[in-house]
Chains A and B, each alone.
Chain A
Amino acid sequence: MKVLEAKNLNKYFYNPKKFKVLENLDLAVEKGDFVSITGKSGSGKSTLLYLLSTMDTDFEGSININGSEMQGRSNSWLADFRNHHIGFVFQFHFLLPEFSVLKNVMLPGLKRAAFPPQELEQKAMDLLKLLDVQDQALKRATLLSGGQQQRVAIARALINDPLILMGDEPTGNLDSKNTGLVFDLFKKLSAEKHQTMLIVTHDEEFAKNTGKTIHISDGRID
C-alpha cells in the first residue's frame, strides 16, 4: 500500500535567479518502508524532503499522502495534517528551550488534543523510555547532551503515531557513537513497529543499511 506518492514534481528557486531544483520527479513510499534519500549537497534532496513534509507549498506537480492531495491546501489544513500524520526530525535537535523534555515531547500531542493530558504524559514517558532518556524527562531541554536531545526530538516526532517519520540529516550533527545509537533506534522502529521512515542523509554507511535508497543528483532520481 502506497503511503506517499509524488508525481511530476517540479521545484524552482527564484533567488538570486530562477533555477530548477527538482525536475519531473516521481517517487513512491510503501507502508513500512525504511527509505533513505542520498545525494551530494545541493542535489535537492533536502528540498524534496521539505516538499514531502508539506512545509514547503511552492511546487508544481502532485504529492499524495495517505490518499490526500497536498497541492493547493490551506496553511491551517496542512498544519493539521502535519500534526496528525508526519513526524519530523531535524539535523539540529530544535527543542524548545523554555520547556521541560517531557513537555517538548507532549507538545504535538497537546496540539492534536486526541487524548487527555494524563494519557499523553504516560505515552510520552513510554517513548522516552523506549529511547532511553526517561530519566531526563523533567529537566529543561537545554541541559541535555546533543545525543540525548536528538533522541528526545525523535520521541517528539513519534508522539502522534505518525504515518511517516521524516528526518533531515538526523545524525549529521552527532558523533559516531551517538550516530550508531540513533541509527539502531531507527532500525528498531522499522523492525518492531513497522514505522514508515524517510530519511535524508549523506552518510553512505547509514544509507546502505536502510531498506531502500533513493539517490538524487541535479534534481533527478538516478
Chain B
Amino acid sequence: MKKIVTDFKLAASIAFVHMGAKLKQTIIATIGVALGITIFVFMVGFIQGSQNYMQAIMFEQSPHLRLFNEVKLSDKTIIDKIYPHQINTLGHEKPKDIFLNLKDGKQAVKDIRKNPLVKTVSGSVSTKVFYRLGAVSINGTILGINFEEANALFNLESKIVSGSFTELATMPNSIVVGTGLAKKLNVKTGDKMELTTEKGANFSISVIGIFKTGLVDIDNQQSYGSIKTVQRFLNVPSSYLTEIQVKLFDLELAPDQAKKLQKNYNYSGSDWKKDNVTLLESAALQNMITYNVAGVILLIAGFGIFNILTMMIYEKMKDIAILKAIGFSNGDVRRIFLTQAFVIGIIGAFSGLIFGYLISYAISKMPYHSDVMFSLDHLPVSFNPLYYIMGFSFGILTTAVAGYLPSRKAAKVDPITILRG
C-alpha cells in the first residue's frame, strides 16, 4: 500500500518536471480545456436559464389540463341515422350552432375537486369583447373567474401591478386589465371605460387593477372579471361555464387525466404538453444544439491534450527507455503521462468553471429589454450546480480519453530498440 503511494508520488514528481520543461505547451493545453468548460458552463446556463424563465411564466399561466367545448361537426349526420345501412354522402354540411358552455359545468367542477389527484380546479367563463374608450376600440378577451380558485391555480395576486383583485367579486362591472391593454387604452386603476360584447351589448365598466404576467400575448389583450359579471355581459344563466382548468399534484399525469375527464363528461380538452408543444419542442432542440456545440469544443480541447502528450512522448522516448532500464514498470510510465493529462484536465476544468461562472454572472447582471414574446429586463441565466458538475465531469472524461491513448503508447515503448540506438 505504502509502495503504491510512493510510486504515485514519484510518477507525479517526474510528470511535474516534464510539464515544467514544456511549460508553454502545457499552459496552452490547459487553456484549451478551460475554454471548453467555460463555454459549456456559460452556454448551458444561459440557454437553460432562458428556457426555465419562459417555461415558468408559460406554465404558471397554463393549467395542467383544461376542459372546454368547441364547435365541431356532428359525428353522424341525420341521413346516417335514418339510413344506417348504406353509404351516404353529404356536401357542405354546416356546423351545428351550439352554446360554447360546458354541460353541467358546475357539477363537473365539484366532481373533479373530489378527485384525489387534483390539486386545484377552477371553472371560468371567457368571451371575446371590444374594449372601448372614446373613439378607440380594441378587441380582446375577458375571463370570468372565481378569484380564490383562479388565484390558487395561476397565482394571480403576484401579477398585480396596481390596484387589486379583492373587489372583483363585490364591485359590479369591475375588471382587472393587462398592462399592455391598459397602456393602449391609457386607463389607470379607478378609471371607467366601455365594453361591447360579440352580440352588441354595451356596458360601462371600472378598472380596479392592472396585472402583468410577462406573457406579452396575454398582457396586451386580456382582462379578468368575476364569473357573475361576465355571465351578465353574455346574458347567460349562472350555470354557464366555458372552461374548467385543473392543476394536478403530478403534472406528468395530465395527458392521461385529460383523456379520462374528456370521456367522462364528453367535453373537449387539452393538457399542458399539447398547449405548449412549440415551447417544449424548441427547448429540446436548443438543448441538443447546446450539448453538441459544447461537446465539439471539449473534443477540440481533448485534441489539445492528446497532441501535447503525444509530442512529449516522442521527444521523451529515450527518457522512457532509461526509466524502464532503471526499474520503472510499464504501469509507472503510464502513470507519469496520465498524471500530466489529469493535471492539465483538472486545472483546466476548475478554471473553466470559475470563468464560466464569472461570465454567466456578468451576463445575468446585464440589462436587456425585450417585449416580443416575454417581458424581460435582464437575461435570465441558470446557475444550477448540475451544469457545473456536468462541465467538470465532461472535462475530466475528455482528459482521461485524450491522456489514455498517448500514455498507453508510452508504456509500450520498447527500451532495447531505443537504448541500442
Interface residues of A (CB under 8 A from B): 46, 50, 53, 55-56, 75-76, 79-80, 82-84, 88, 90-92, 94-99, 107-108, 110-113, 156, 160, 168
Provided the pairs A98-B18, A99-B17 are in contact, do residues A75 and B325 lie with their beta carbons within 8 angstroms? no
Pairwise interchain contact A111-B10, C-beta atoms closer than 8 A: yes
Does A88 contact B325, Cβ atoms closer than 8 Å?
A: yes
Complex Cα distance, B416 from A82, in Å, reads 14
CB within 8 Å of A: which of B1-60? Answer: 2-3, 6-7, 10, 17-18, 20-21
Task: For the complex, give the distance between the alpha carbons of A90 and B332 in Å.
Answer: 22
Which residues of A sit under 8 angstroms from B329, Cβ to Cβ? Answer: 75-76, 79-80
Given contacts A50-B420, A94-B318, contact A111 B20 (CB under 8 A): no
B319 touches A83 (CB 8 A): no
Q: Is B90 interfacial (CB-CB < 8 Å)? A: no
| Complex contact B20–A83 (CB within 8 A) | no
Q: How many Å lie between the Cα of A50 and that of B324 in the bound state?
A: 13
B residues sitting closer than 8 Å to A (CB atoms) are 2-3, 6-7, 10, 17-18, 20-21, 318-319, 321-332, 415-416, 419-421
Contacts of A76 in B (CB 8 A): 329-331
* B6, closest chain A residue (CB): A113
- Nearest A-chain residue to B321, judged by Cβ: A94
Provide the main secondary structure of the chain B interface: helix
- B3 A113 Cβ-Cβ under 8 A: yes
B194 smallest CB distance to A (angstroms): 88
A sample of 20 more A-B contacts (CB under 8 A), given A50-B420, A79-B332, is A76-B331, A79-B324, A79-B329, A79-B330, A80-B329, A83-B328, A88-B326, A90-B325, A94-B318, A94-B321, A94-B322, A94-B419, A95-B322, A96-B319, A97-B319, A107-B323, A107-B326, A111-B326, A113-B2, A156-B326
Which of B321, B419, B420 gathers most chain A CB within 10 Å? Answer: B419
Output the least CB separation between A52 and chain B (Å): 12
Q: Verify B18–A84 contact, CB threshold 8 A.
A: no
B332 — which chain A residues lie within 8 A by C-beta? Answer: 79, 111
B124 to chain A, nearest CB (A): 77
- What are 23 pairs between A and B in contact, CB < 8 Å? A50-B416, A55-B324, A76-B331, A79-B328, A79-B329, A79-B332, A80-B329, A83-B328, A88-B326, A90-B419, A92-B421, A94-B322, A94-B419, A96-B319, A97-B319, A98-B17, A110-B6, A111-B7, A111-B10, A111-B326, A111-B327, A113-B7, A168-B419
B31 to chain A, nearest CB (A): 23
Residues of B within 8 A of A99 (CB): 17
Q: Quote the shortest CB–CB distance from A200 to chain B (angstroms).
A: 11
Whether B322 lies near A96 (C-beta < 8 A) is yes
